A = this chain, B = another copy of it.
Amino acid sequence: MQLYSFWRSSAAFRVRIALNLKGLEYGVIPVHLTKQGGEQMSSEYASKNPMQLVPTLMDGAANIHQSLAIIEYLEEITPSPALLPKTAIDRAWVRSLALDIAAEIHPLGNLRVLRYLLKTMEVTMEAKEAWSAHWISLGLQNLEKQLSADVRVGRFAYGDQPGLIDICLVPQIFNALSAKIDTATYPTLMKIFDQCMTLPAFIDASWEKQIDAEGLNPAAPPQK
């Protein structure tokens, strides 16, 4: 399998973690989202991913986009170790929290959205940063509320094995830290984050371990 990836893309980061947790071999093809208007805008990449977003997973002749669709696919073709719980109701809970991140927080901080705010709407840099901080903080507050009150939470978001919520949470915390958001008000989330970051599957998928990482010291520990 080949993964079209960008080191800082949260969606690509999720898929890298899932591939690592499943122990699947894959190559990374970097797609530079910020260079020369973005390599994802090339017609070559658009032929693989019409949304012109990363990631795209190539499995043989098939190409699959949308990180959550890719992860469900990996779960179906390689069921073990499972990233989703066994019961329908718990699977729904895990998927709902994954979507709280992937469909509520992340889309509002996407590069193309921030660019639109700055270049088309011509808002100030401060207004753009306040926008990012607002949606990340609101989303993390809601996650903290849900996870701090649920008996299903263990060492990881669902029990004692890493799964789909953790896969979505960790890249979002990387973003929050990068946006200098105070994470002290999210003790449950940060405990799960710290637990995840002890595992090679998460460490190896993180920003600084990517072949296309820039402006980071590859030998440095994960940003906190």
Q: Which residues of A contact B (CB under 8 A)?
A: 50-53, 59, 62, 64-66, 68-70, 72-73, 76-77, 88-89, 91-93, 95-96, 98-100, 102-104, 106-108, 113, 116, 120-121, 123, 127, 130-131, 134, 142, 145-146
Contact = CB atoms under 8 A, between A and B. Distances in A.
Nearest to A145: B50
Number of copies: 2
A130 to B, nearest CB: 8
A51 B142 contact: yes
A72 B95 CA distance: 9
25 contacts: A50-B146, A51-B100, A51-B142, A62-B89, A62-B92, A66-B99, A66-B100, A68-B103, A69-B92, A69-B95, A69-B98, A69-B99, A70-B92, A72-B92, A73-B92, A76-B88, A99-B103, A103-B103, A103-B107, A104-B107, A120-B130, A121-B121, A121-B123, A121-B127, A121-B131
Contacts of A146: 50
Contacts of A93: 64, 69
Contact of A88 (B51, B52, B73, B108): B73
A19 to B, nearest CB: 14
A113 B108 contact: yes
A116 B104 CA distance: 14
